[in-house]
Structure 1
């Protein structure tokens, strides 16, 4: 080849490379999309860790259904992604039962210790409940949740369901990239609590990306649960080990607290958003905040605004502020709430609240509403669908990543710190009380259309979750995105709302945007009075979804986490 031809070839290659760098990396879809939707005719699973997804498929290949597979995947994630979940935490689930064609909701969250009181916190000069250590620990509800799901819908023996997680716990698995990152961060803040390092810091540090991690103590615990059922956890040796450890380390969680625990089957609640029925579980979770946001957006022509426009982003943030003021004032253990969920998510209430939004100006604060005038969140999320049409939307968490730091000896897991979410204001419906469920951030979601299942999905990440739920659905329903694009699209996160712990928003908070929104839209938000920060800080959640199509399933799992969707 001549020198002249070499220069021409090089110029063409460089030009092509430059052109490609300015366009999408893929030949289809918006440029923020990371991969195609996953499609399969028989079954589908989507989790935040690839091996957990494969375990779900393995269980279904062996004759298990979606419920068996979801439990198996959750058990694997408790091992492989302890930065977001584990059997020291709580669980919520929505199940579509293909036989009865009905939705079923499960609240498997635990309650506060009966031996601890609000007065104790006052007597000891606490202004809020600590984030870590023994005081925020509440009863872990996940194991009871597994057995409630399995007893009602499961098919395989529990020993077969837990066998893959037990195998990986003994033989080991390579730690994936995002999980390794958060493992190191958790080690910095809770690594000194008793028992934590012995389980989660082999060699004195968090495992790095690609290193093999084993947890034989958790394998032993899973084997005891598989053989002895839920009572092996709540009434046997495991419960006594937890209680003795807590008592020895300044905690209040007792054997009686564990032995008397139970989950509750609850009725999911819904609003209709442009022809789609969007389902959430009622409080003590925050799912209805997502419904309240959608109810507010329903009154606007969102589609005409366009994705990434200043008009939509302003409207979304203001709707979120309104919903979260009610979240801060009203959401609590349902036995203690003083307003009805039906009123909070009603059309009439949304109409009244929508009138407070100024389309040209950000509000520094909103009052909480008064529904009586009508007179009438780190976490994991997974979803599984099977060949019979059953679908599971399941979310499970320790709270604050790896939880309280309190790690009972020989069990292989850390206890959650959900009790931090209680308020110490005795007049608040979420005020601490013995044997009470705290306000919860983790929420599974489900969508039906014309009475048939359409979508099982979730977005992890504390207070980001209802914001993420609403954005994903708006992306699909209003902006026409497919299942993968709807999750990959850059997200909006408003921080600084009033909280159920008693903290109040007075300065409008901060609008945080992932990179990818138009600079001119950001400038317009600032003109309207929003404080805007553009940063990819890992706080925008993690999304999994399965959509039911005609004769097949479509799955998606976004790139913010390590996982994937797969089927056969």
Structure 2
């Protein structure tokens, strides 16, 4: 009864009323706001603000703390960021994603029997990016020293009370952990006992990681004693990680366990500051990273949805849900074929994909009565005056969606897999007809969706959001090196698993085929929005391929339906499974789209359920379907900051 009351309260949230009740209180601050995926990490951000740091300093401190807490990321992973600089009024994009190492070719992985690079272990690793990204952001846009910013993380590495979520993840993944000697020594604190992982609340000590962070700080402090500038001193720490003794031990430990990363790979890699992509949605400028992330999918979706009166449809009405689902299927189809590292492509499609006329053509292809199980990629090249160089690949996959003649979309599956694709769709239709009522006590209750698939779809990360009264605003979505993590030697640094997001066959995506020095196309996707040229929202979420699905709906909840950021982080969302998974599994079948498969909130009305089933959807249900999203709203009318953090998971914020 209590939950039904809360859901009833939430169902009224779209009325625009600021007083609508939420499960968690909204956060308010005048001076600063820090929101992230772990309570201790949010505290690290608050401590850094109290030292006099700006939002970049605080974001870096939160990043360092979350990396030290494992579970969804670690120090060997990757960092993606958007930063609003109030000094020049520009949004800055930070690309600190690692690259495929020497020897990482399609032939290498196919020779080992893979359809995709593996999920776990040394062969899943790209070069570490988080340490370099943190140093770069701090040096260029922060105000404090590396020593000050890393202080909370170093104290945690010396020993912190581990939370149940991480401790239980270690226990669940110990089969893998035991294969890697350096991981086993760190994580399995009770070897030989029934429970070998730490217990919740146990003081978890990481001596090797502390030594690595100490070496970085020593490099900085030594440079300062030699009268180097603050920026030069921080980059001396960077050099020690990527070119010095830390790098040598990392490579030794990686290669000892069968990995490919070389000293040259680390020395050549560097974070990149680049221009973000953006579109205007009803007067709001929305910013995302370039197409080496899935972020432009949200921008494409907004361009398409601009052609519909969403407010008139009503929040989570049948028509609204259907329009969202069809829009996301079209933009995911484009993502799955056209996105990849732009540094390796001389003929990018992204300008065409973000063209407003292209979006209008895509909107006109939406069937308002039925789910289109064969929604495929469009042809954006005519919208930038070019000929599509990949038409032959699209023809091999089935029928290209024609965005110039209005022809009905065709299939989007490799021809060699078309039979199994059709069989799977038929199987889903049959299972949906047998489906029983959802179990309200399960986060995801479904007869049509298996737990391994959902783990791959939702695979977590975290988000870091920070803002201050001076106008600095930061959104970061870091990840990689999650549990079960393979630690590289005596560094205490877990290796990234991001190579699994590459493909090995150009027929799947010609832009994202693995190659040494190339960045994989990732799901990680920080977000910033400006209104009248000033910061309006920063927002991020964890959850693999669901990230931009949830962020899209969060944004629309605020902009179209008048919700506060806290209401929007808790509001019921939908998810589509009609996409190619970016993570997990080693076969085509593990990752193929599931046409019509949709996640709905348990509070969805019976009328809407029946209507969606008649439109060709296969329904699954969740108790909480909002993310979890973290966000900050910059309230210019009152000169204050609003923080929002979803009502599930461990996400947490502090404001002042």
In structure 2, C-alpha distance between the alignment counterparts of 1:539 and 1:176, rounded to whole Å: 23
In structure 2, C-alpha distance between the alignment counterparts of 1:419 and 1:21, rounded to whole Å: 41
Q: Structure 1: which 5+ runs fail to align?
A: 1-17
Judging changes above 3 Å, is the alpha-carbon distance between structure 1 residues 114 and 342 closer, same or farther for their aligned structure 2 residues?
A: same
Deviations 1:337-379 (A, max 9, x none): 4333221111111111112211110111212111012133621
In structure 1, C-alpha distance between the alignment counterparts of 2:249 and 2:131, rounded to whole Å: 16
Shift of 1:187: 3.8
Where do 1:495-510 residues align within 5 Å? Answer: 495-499=577-581, 503=588, 505=592, 508-510=595-597
The worse-fitting range, judged by mean Cα deviation, of 351-360 and 420-429 is 420-429
The worse-fitting range, judged by mean Cα deviation, of 499-508 and 103-112 is 499-508
Counterpart pick for 1:221 among 209, 212, 228: 212
- For the residue of structure 2 that corresponds to 1:195, the secondary structure is helix
In structure 2, C-alpha distance between the alignment counterparts of 1:77 and 1:280, rounded to whole Å: 22
Counterpart pick for 1:417 among 484, 494, 497: 497
- For the residue of structure 2 that corresponds to 1:555, the secondary structure is strand
Where do 1:534-553 residues align within 5 Å? Answer: 534-536=621-623, 541-550=627-636, 551-553=639-641
- Quick check: 1:515 aligned with 2:602? yes
Deviations 1:58-86 (A, max 9, x none): 11111211111111111111112x11111
Counterpart pick for 1:387 among 469, 478, 488: 469
Counterpart pick for 2:523 among 432, 437, 441: 441
Counterpart pick for 1:232 among 231, 236, 240: 240
2:611 aligns with 524
2:201 aligns with 210
> Contact 1:117/1:432 (CA < 8 Å) preserved in 2?
yes
Deviations 1:68-106 (A, max 9, x none): 1111111111112x1111111000111111111111110
2:79 aligns with 91
- For the residue of structure 1 that corresponds to 2:530, the secondary structure is strand
> Contact 1:339/1:371 (CA < 8 Å) preserved in 2?
no
The worse-fitting range, judged by mean Cα deviation, of 517-526 and 141-150 is 517-526
- For the residue of structure 1 that corresponds to 2:181, the secondary structure is coil
- Quick check: 1:396 aligned with 2:478? yes
1:280 aligns with 288
In structure 1, C-alpha distance between the alignment counterparts of 2:582 and 2:172, rounded to whole Å: 26
Deviations 1:5-43 (A, max 9, x none): xxxxxxxxxxxxx7x675239989758831221111111
Counterpart pick for 2:336 among 328, 332, 354: 328
In structure 1, C-alpha distance between the alignment counterparts of 2:4 and 2:575, rounded to whole Å: 27
Shift of 1:125: 3.7
2:645 aligns with 557
The TM-score, its normalising length taken from structure 2, stands at: 0.79
The Cα RMSD (Å) is 2.3
2:153 aligns with 165
1:128 aligns with 116
The TM-score, its normalising length taken from structure 1, stands at: 0.91
- For the residue of structure 1 that corresponds to 2:123, the secondary structure is coil
In structure 2, C-alpha distance between the alignment counterparts of 1:51 and 1:191, rounded to whole Å: 28
Judging changes above 3 Å, is the alpha-carbon distance between structure 1 residues 506 and 494 closer, same or farther for their aligned structure 2 residues?
A: closer
1:196 aligns with 183
> Contact 1:83/1:186 (CA < 8 Å) preserved in 2?
no
1:142 aligns with 130
Judging changes above 3 Å, is the alpha-carbon distance between structure 1 residues 306 and 178 closer, same or farther for their aligned structure 2 residues?
A: farther
Q: Structure 2: which 5+ runs fail to align?
A: 14-19, 220-236, 386-458
Judging changes above 3 Å, is the alpha-carbon distance between structure 1 residues 303 and 188 closer, same or farther for their aligned structure 2 residues?
A: farther
Shift of 1:180: 4.2
Counterpart pick for 1:52 among 41, 45, 61: 41
Judging changes above 3 Å, is the alpha-carbon distance between structure 1 residues 243 and 288 closer, same or farther for their aligned structure 2 residues?
A: same
Shift of 1:506: 6.1
Judging changes above 3 Å, is the alpha-carbon distance between structure 1 residues 113 and 388 closer, same or farther for their aligned structure 2 residues?
A: same
Judging changes above 3 Å, is the alpha-carbon distance between structure 1 residues 184 and 276 closer, same or farther for their aligned structure 2 residues?
A: farther
> Contact 1:32/1:490 (CA < 8 Å) preserved in 2?
no
Deviations 1:223-248 (A, max 9, x none): 11222211111111221112112222
> Contact 1:115/1:252 (CA < 8 Å) preserved in 2?
yes
Judging changes above 3 Å, is the alpha-carbon distance between structure 1 residues 506 and 268 closer, same or farther for their aligned structure 2 residues?
A: closer
Shift of 1:179: 4.0
Judging changes above 3 Å, is the alpha-carbon distance between structure 1 residues 182 and 348 closer, same or farther for their aligned structure 2 residues?
A: farther
In structure 2, C-alpha distance between the alignment counterparts of 1:21 and 1:439, rounded to whole Å: 39
Q: How many residues align?
A: 545
The worse-fitting range, judged by mean Cα deviation, of 257-266 and 541-550 is 541-550
Counterpart pick for 1:312 among 306, 311, 320: 320
Counterpart pick for 1:487 among 555, 561, 569: 569
Counterpart pick for 1:339 among 331, 348, 353: 348
- Quick check: 1:290 aligned with 2:312? no
Deviations 1:246-305 (A, max 9, x none): 222221111111111111111111112222111101121110011111112111111122
> Contact 2:602/2:621 (CA < 8 Å) preserved in 1?
yes
> Contact 1:178/1:561 (CA < 8 Å) preserved in 2?
no
In structure 2, C-alpha distance between the alignment counterparts of 1:554 and 1:183, rounded to whole Å: 35
